[in-house]
Structure 1
Amino acid sequence: MPSPRDRQARIATFVVYAVQGLSFATLLTQVASIQNKHRLSDLALTILLLIVPVFAGVGSVSAGAFAARLGSKLLLRIAQPLVAAAVVLAGLAPNVPLLVPALLLFGLAVGGVDAGMNMQGVAVERRYGRPVLNGFHCLWSVLSLVGALWASAVGKDLPLAVVMAVPMVFAVAGSLYAGPKLCTIEEEKAETVEAATGRFPWGPIIPLCLAMGFLYIGDSSVSNFSTVFMDKIMHANDNVIPLAFAAYQATTLVVRLGGDVAVRRYGPAAIVRIGGAIATLGFLGVVLAPTQPLAIISFGLTGVGLSVVAPQSFSAAGRLDPAGTGVAIARVNLFNYVGFIVGAALIGPIADASGYRVAFAAPLVLAGAIIVLARGFEPAVKVSRA
């Protein structure tokens, strides 16, 4: 039975996820405006944007070492306000030389927060004794949508710096509220496990890392190229083109709303296996779709399937690290950014060479591989430390 302290930590963790979703969306929705402000070519913009996932990977790995010694609570209290500051600085930057360090800071800090918030989520899940991670990721999606709607509503009426700064006022306020209430380093550890020594082995988490990477290759493919696919392949008009990505985001949100209940009933491995199968079917539908409605439905199916993988990856990593050091979670989180980079770099060249239908066959195959990797989400034996 959760204690009042457990419930307090859970509410604080909800806030941390919400702040991260809002912060990420506030920057992501202004990429076109930043490009126009600085008169960047598509190539220059792509190179600049790669700063974020590359340095986020560095931030995630560093977060694992930091949290193992000092806990993810302190990590989040430092890194999350830095994310908000970086978003504001990116909006204020008058030129590219000042934009670059803002993006670098954003990447490092967002990688630390991504790892830290999932460490907190796993700690809360461990203390509750039942799956709760999908709920946290669901709120991330909700606040991402709020950030996008804010940008859509005021983007043409307010200066870029104001559009990006206003949500960050709420982000900092949320971070300051949640920080003191998060799980301490002692509360992150299982009561029956003493502090671990030595290095955490890579072997048991490789299936989780691969599943996370394959998930984000698919996510990156949909996020970056679904609108291009609808335009160039399906010849949709301007009102229909965004519906493919909207379907993907909507189904992701809906599935995460009920994801924890499904995991409690069927188990994480079964849910990941089913998710991989549905995502594979979705990408197959994209490759073969003869009409615009079927293409939109297919993109929605990819959201249904892929949405369950990340929460269960972090949850499984937490089970493999019962001492609560956070190292396993930080390593799994690293493949979030690996997948994003590979997805962005994979689809474009294949599409240039063979067309977008063939390009979307790549995430189709990798989604199918998630089905095979699902057994790694329910380890049969406890893992000893190296």
Structure 2
Amino acid sequence: MRDEDDRLPANARMARVAVSAIFFVHGAVFASWAARVPAVQTELRLSAGISGLVLAGPGLGALAGSQAGGLLVRHLGSRAVSATAPVVLSVPLGLIPVAQSPWSLMGLLVVLGAADGCTSVAMNAQAVVVQRRYGRAVLNSMHAIRSVGAVAGGLAGVATAALGLTLTTQFVITAAVLAVVSAVAACGLGPDRDRARQAQRTKTARVPDAGEQDAADHGPNRWMLVLLLALMTFLTALVEDAPASWSGVYLRHVGADAATAAAGYAAFSAGEGVTRLFNDWMVDRIGWARLIRVGTLCCAAALSAALLLGQPGTTLPALVVAGAGISAVFPGAFTAAGGLPDAPLAMGQVGFAGNLGWLLVSPIIGGLATVVGLPIALGLLVVAAATIAGLAPITRSAAPPHSGTRQIAQEMNS
């Protein structure tokens, strides 16, 4: 595999590094904010009720941003949007200390969320272009790098707090550094050659390429595929984001001490992040559909065991397995959407559904928990994972087949 990579043009390898850097920035920006939420709440003297409203800002903004991202990528291309959106994403982060009221803070967070959603669609669209040129799966590793960025952003927030630096110092320096990284990465992003060829074929008597022909064979059902991919990402967001809010609460519910409870989300994230480093290798051997099906069934089984046994000693390993099992779904869904005609809009809908799940997961779990209890409410995640396993075949039918590396190298040089 390394020999195949060496035969790729230098600009293809550079594009992979560049879009990976954008993934890093995307993870680092939001984590930098999240790590200092308590300090911002204290500084602005936000009540619990007002905090809940203000903290919904990023989720609300992301819904609009994902739709805007799809439209912008459609008209401007993934390279142009991936080059600018991460820089824009850094601006509201640096302006957070300027907020003097809950409403000005919420306004900044809405802008932050909108830029986050737009960046997510654009960078995944650019990653699919790079992946197609590589001729094998590389998108999982980029999502793993996003997780590294999130860890780095969180640790930066912890370090600045430990050093006693002001919020202004942290946010301004972090935003400036990440904006520079984004600007440098923009120089290496790859051209949307597929988009250019598609536009040329539209002007002439166009013949669909392999990816388009596969999707076109579904005729009017292609938007049903988009709907099913959106449902898949919505359910994935429930499974991925619930541990952030509820794993610690559940661990305390089953008798864990504070330290063990605090480790719940870290266990889930570790399983997810590490597994993404190996998922590209797995995709090239068994395909997206089988990897997603096996992974999400393992996720459902692990979560079921944790909820049925109700022991801290089984819950932490179960969270690691659950994170590993769900890790391939988002990259697989974006790859599938990227193989459809009018891919930017399809990817925008996939991103929108993921952001909607992120926004709704805590109210859904919290509302169910008040009625049926927390363990049964968390059983929704088992149902979600099992449903994703049933939807896994759509990633096979929608994703374009990989091209050979030699053909892609010739394409890049043409």
Bucket of the pairwise TM-score, normalised by the shorter protein: over 0.9
Alignment of 1:2-21 (within 5 A): 2-21=8-27
1:230 counterpart (243, 251, 256): 251
Where is the helix percentage greater, Structure 1 or Structure 2? 2
Aligned to 1:149: 155
Is the CA contact 2:94–2:174 (under 8 Å) kept in the aligned structure 1? Answer: no
Counterpart AA for 1:355: G
2:75 counterpart (69, 78, 90): 69
Using the TM superposition, give the Cα deviation of residue 275 of structure 1 relative to its aligned residue in structure 2, in angstroms.
Answer: 1.6
Using the TM superposition, give the Cα deviation of residue 105 of structure 1 relative to its aligned residue in structure 2, in angstroms.
Answer: 1.0
Equivalent position SS for 2:165 = coil
Aligned to 2:309: 289
Change in Cα spacing, 1:168 to 1:196, as seen in structure 2 (3 Å) is farther
- 2:380 equivalent to 1:362: yes
Query: Structure 2 regions of 5+ residues with no counterpart?
Result: 1-6, 204-219, 401-414
Aligned to 2:354: 336
Aligned to 1:171: 178
Counterpart AA for 1:170: V
Q: d(CA) in 1 for partners of 2:199 and 2:88?
A: 33
Change in Cα spacing, 1:240 to 1:195, as seen in structure 2 (3 Å) is farther
Aligned to 1:351: 369
- 2:341 equivalent to 1:318: no
Counterpart AA for 2:237: Y
Is the CA contact 2:288–2:332 (under 8 Å) kept in the aligned structure 1? Answer: yes
Q: 1:115-140, CA deviations, whole angstroms, 9 ceiling, x for partnerless residues? A: 00001100100111111000100100
Q: d(CA) in 2 for partners of 1:335 and 1:57?
A: 8
Q: d(CA) in 1 for partners of 2:261 and 2:49?
A: 23
Using the TM superposition, give the Cα deviation of residue 188 of structure 1 relative to its aligned residue in structure 2, in angstroms.
Answer: 4.7
- 2:38 equivalent to 1:28: no
Q: Which moved more, 1:356-365 or 1:30-39?
A: 30-39
Q: d(CA) in 1 for partners of 2:223 and 2:201?
A: 19
Using the TM superposition, give the Cα deviation of residue 207 of structure 1 relative to its aligned residue in structure 2, in angstroms.
Answer: 2.1
Counterpart AA for 2:154: A
Q: d(CA) in 1 for partners of 2:146 and 2:399?
A: 32
Q: 1:349-386, CA deviations, whole angstroms, 9 ceiling, x for partnerless residues? A: 1112222111111111111101110010101798xxxx
Alignment of 1:88-237 (within 5 A): 88-156=94-162, 157-185=164-192, 187-189=193-195, 194=200, 201-231=222-252, 233-237=253-257
Is the CA contact 2:300–2:382 (under 8 Å) kept in the aligned structure 1? Answer: yes
Change in Cα spacing, 1:380 to 1:174, as seen in structure 2 (3 Å) is closer
Q: d(CA) in 2 for partners of 1:27 and 1:306?
A: 25
Report which of the two structures shows the higher radius of gyration computed on alpha carbons: 2
Using the TM superposition, give the Cα deviation of residue 195 of structure 1 relative to its aligned residue in structure 2, in angstroms.
Answer: 5.6
Aligned to 2:3: none
Q: 1:270-318, CA deviations, whole angstroms, 9 ceiling, x for partnerless residues? A: 0110121011112212312332111111111210111111011111111
Counterpart AA for 1:346: I
Give every structure 1 segment of 4 or more consecutive aligned residues whose post-TM-superposition deviation is greater than 3 Å.
190-197
Q: d(CA) in 2 for partners of 1:36 and 1:268?
A: 45
Aligned to 2:43: 37
CA RMSD of aligned residues (A): 2.1
Q: 1:214-255, CA deviations, whole angstroms, 9 ceiling, x for partnerless residues? A: 010112211111111122x12322221111111101111110
Q: 1:307-347, CA deviations, whole angstroms, 9 ceiling, x for partnerless residues? A: 111011111111223x7x52211111111111112212111
Q: d(CA) in 2 for partners of 1:330 and 1:292?
A: 39
Give the TM-score normalised by structure 1.
Answer: 0.92
Query: Structure 1 regions of 5+ residues with no counterpart?
Result: none
Aligned to 1:251: 271
Q: d(CA) in 1 for partners of 2:201 and 2:356?
A: 30
Give the TM-score normalised by structure 2.
Answer: 0.86
Identity of aligned residues (%): 26
Using the TM superposition, give the Cα deviation of residue 28 of structure 1 relative to its aligned residue in structure 2, in angstroms.
Answer: 1.7
